[in-house]
Structures are given as C-alpha cells and as structure tokens.
Amino acid sequence: MYISQQIAANAVNQVLSGRNLTLALPAALAIFPNATPQQRGAAQDLSYGTLRFYGEIDAYLVQLLEKPLTDDRINALLLVAIYQLLHDKADAFTVVNQAVQAVSQLKRPAPKSWAKGLVNAILRNFLRQKDQLAAKLSTSEVATFSYPQWWINKLKIQYPSHWQGILQIGNQHPPMTLRVNTQKISMLDYLQLLARQDIEAKHISAQALILTNPVPVEKIPGFTDGIVSVQDFGAQLAAYLLAAEPGMNVLDACCAPGGKTGHILELADVALTALDSDEVRLQRVQSNLDRLKLQANLLAGDASTTDWWNNAKTAQQSYDRILADVPCTASGIVRRHVDIKWLRREADVTSFTRQQAKILANLWQMLAKGGKLLYVTCSVFNEENQGQVDKFLQNNADAMQLPFELPANYSSTEVTQIHGQLVPTNAHDGFFYALLQKN
C-alpha cells in the first residue's frame, strides 16, 4: 500500500503546486508503471480523498509541525497519511508504517533517516493528540468544511439558508447518473436490463436514473451501443430547457466533452453546430457522437469572437437555438473535481465573469429574432449566474429572460432550485440556467 501512498502524495503535491488533478494523477501513476490495478485504484482514492478534505487535514498538520516543512514531498505524504487516519478504514498502525516506508523510498535530496523519524513522530503524535487537536480546530471554518475561507464567506452571503448544505454536499462522493436514450430503449426495459446484471438503480425522471453503486463505464449495459450515457441529472436539464424543435438550426457553444450535444440530438432532429476552442476536446465530442450514432457539424473556434462564424461554410447564419455552456469556476461540481477548491482564487471569479460576458454578447448577435439562448454554468456563484444575466439584460433591450420552469418529466422532489440556480443535492450537481429570448 505504501506505493499507493507515494503515488497519491505525488499527485497531491502537483495539485498544491497548481496543476490540475486530471493531469497530475496520470503523471504520478506513470512514475510507477509496475503498480498493480489495486494499487492504482487505491492511489486514486487517496488522491481524491486527501484533496476533498485538504482544509481539515492541513489544519491538523500545521498544529503538529514546529515549522513548515522544506520538502513538499514529505508534506504531501503526511497529508495523505493523515487523511487515511481520519477518514479511511485502514489500520492506524499499518498506515504509519507504510508512510515511514514510503518516505524511505524518496530519492535525494531528502535525508532518509531524518525523514523516516519525522514522519513516524508526527503521525504517532497525531494519534495521541487527535482529540486535543480537534478541539482547537472546532472554531475554524476552513478545517470544518475544507474550503478556502473566501469561498465559505461568499456562499454565506449568497445562500444564507443553504451555504452549509452546499459545502457539505461538495465533500460527498458524487452520484453516478445515467441518461437513457428512450428513442432506442424504454426506461422500463433498461431498468430490467440492469436488474438482470444485478445493478441497482433509482429511476428519477423520464431519461435519468442513479446507480446505487457506481460501476466502471465499460461495464454499464448498453453504453458502448449508445443507448445510455453518463450525465449528471442537473446537466440533463439543458437539452430540455433549450427545447430545440425538428428542423431548427442549433449552436452548441463550448460543447466539449459533448454530453449536452448528444442529448440535444437525441431529443430532436436538428441541424447542430458544435463549437469548442480546443481541437483535442472536440475529438472527444466526435467520439461521443460516434458512440451515439449521431451527427453534428464540429467546429474549432472561440465563442467570444466571430472569426469561426465568418470562416464557416455556413458563414454568418443565424441560429434558432443557442446553448451557451460557458467556462466558469465550476464551483457547483467540486465533488467531481476536488482540486478546484484549492486551485481557484477569489480573483478567478472576476476573470471568468469577464470571459462569460464576452461570449454572451458575441453569441447574442448570432441568434435569430424570436430565437432562444440558454445560458448555463456549473457554478454556484451569483456573479457568474443571475448577476451576469442581469447585466446583460440591462445592456440589451431586445433580450428577455423567460421564467424558469422544470420540464414535465422532472420531479420537483428531486430538484432543488432557486430562480434557475440548481443548489447541489444528493441527486444533482450545482448548475445555473437562464433562458433568454430575442424580441
């Protein structure tokens, strides 16, 4: 298991240095090509768990250290071990011994004998003093909720009745939600297919169900055949709210990885253009469409400019529907991307709002009169959501925000929303939706 600790510590250290976990974890795993599948799986769990509760774990470690460690690798290894001692079911004696063994494998410049003694002493002190340490941290919101203080403060102001619940949901394991293509198979038939393979699921809407226990994607019945996709319940709202009708000209801006793209095409036979600034991510969209046996016109371009619009074969055509799933802080999906809490800075909120405003203003000119644009983020911060929309409405007299209404096939008992803001729950992530119509 100490190999799993080493891999996880390497990944955590990279994230704390500013690297995205989706890049850091594969890089850490590559250092140990002979690691077993079990060790690799454990390393992933330890990486996610440590970052999920980093605020709490780091607060404990700071109390245990007389001064900050100069070797970030040892610091990260201690964070992983303390996570195990706090939240894992592993035997405490085993965790400590494995951490000592892991640090002994570090290459220079770490002095092995000194490092081994330090790790052993700190972890044993933690076990002896855990209750006293916890008492000292009881007034720390960062330690209690494992979020940066600026994030906590923002939610307190914007969600006075929900802020604690939002923070707590963000520290839970996310549900695995499927979207069934009911054009190819009925929900009843698919549920029976799952039952035959002993996979339990909860049916929550016409197309959505949540697996009781997540399974690897490749083991989901019908996934490779395109009859089912993995997509959060909240994200599935986008295609319904957009309400594209057969024959319409539709633009899916910022489309990667293509979940909403596929859903739009499943619901209506439209002429769909899927736009994204990253050509590599567009390949994933194409792969997703191939699996679903659907077609769209994929274009590489920046949604905040008109360059791609002017250069496209269908130059300067207007769209009946536009899905603007804009870049954001992703503050509503932190349980899926645990590194976001520690990579984001408060100044990033302002940076994203500027980018969103450019995209929204640019796409608006491409919308046909009477057409509808669905503005979407996976954020819970008001500046990126209704605050952004309010500013846009003030500057565009031809824009009108339509009332937010859940589709008939969506149970209100499964969705918690405040004027278009989906507050994260056990059933769905945090999304914001604003449907705008051009008068």
pLDDT along the chain (439 residues), means of 10: 93 97 96 94 97 98 92 95 94 93 78 81 95 95 98 98 97 96 95 96 93 94 96 96 97 95 97 94 95 95 89 73 97 97 97 98 96 98 98 97 87 80 95 97
Query: How many Å apart are CA 9 and CA 319, to the nearest integer?
Result: 48
Q: Amino acid letter at 181?
A: N
List the one residue out of 100, 72, 69 whose CA is nearest residue 1: 100
- Cα distances from 417 to residues 169, 224, 251, 348, in angstroms, run 15, 33, 26, 25
For residue 147, tell me if it sits in a domain. Answer: no
Q: How many residues does the chain have?
A: 439
Cα of first residue to Cα of last residue in the chain, in angstroms, is 62
Asked if 402 contacts 436 with a C-beta cutoff of 8 angstroms, the reply is yes
Query: How many Å apart are CA 422 and CA 380, to the nearest integer?
Result: 8
For residue 37, tell me if it sits in a domain. Answer: yes
State the residue for tokens 């984001």: 344
Q: Amino acid letter at 38?
A: Q
3-state helix, strand, coil in the chain (%, to 5): 50, 15, 35
Same domain flag for 107 and 225: no
Same domain flag for 397 and 271: yes
Same domain flag for 95 and 180: no
- Residue 190's CATH number: 3.30.70.1170
Same domain flag for 131 and 250: no
Domain that holds residue 299: 237-438
Q: Amino acid letter at 160?
A: P
State the residue for tokens 């801006």: 253
For residue 146, tell me if it sits in a domain. Answer: no
- Residue 49's CATH number: 1.10.940.10
Select from 188, 208, 230 the last residue of a domain: 230
Residue 364 φ/ψ, nearest 5 degrees = -60, -35
Q: Which runs of consecutive H residues, i.e. helices, occur in 53-186?
A: 54-64, 72-87, 92-104, 112-137, 141-145, 149-158, 163-170
Residue 254: active-site member: no
Rounded to the nearest 10°, the torsion over CA 410, 215, 339, 432 is -10
Select from 115, 140, 165 the last residue of a domain: 140
Query: How many Å apart are CA 264 and CA 252, to the nearest integer?
Result: 9
For residue 167, tell me if it sits in a domain. Answer: no
Same domain flag for 384 and 312: yes
Provide the number of structural domains found in the chain: 3
The residue annotated as part of the active site, out of 254, 255, 328, 378, is 378
Q: What's the pLDDT score for residue 366?
A: 95
Q: What's the pLDDT score for residue 114?
A: 79
Select from 140, 168, 184 the last residue of a domain: 140
Q: What's the pLDDT score for residue 51?
A: 98
Torsional sign, CA 164, 168, 170, 176? negative
Q: What's the pLDDT score for residue 109?
A: 61
Q: What's the pLDDT score for residue 414?
A: 77
Q: Which runs of consecutive H residues, i.e. helices, occur in 210-258?
A: 237-242
Taking the CA of residue 59 as centre, how many other CA atoms within 13 Å lie in the half-sphere pointing to its CB? 24
Same domain flag for 289 and 417: yes
Same domain flag for 62 and 187: no
Other Cβ atoms within 10 Å of 361 Cβ, number = 13
Give Dmax (Cα) for the chain: 73
Asked if 324 contacts 374 with a C-beta cutoff of 8 angstroms, the reply is yes
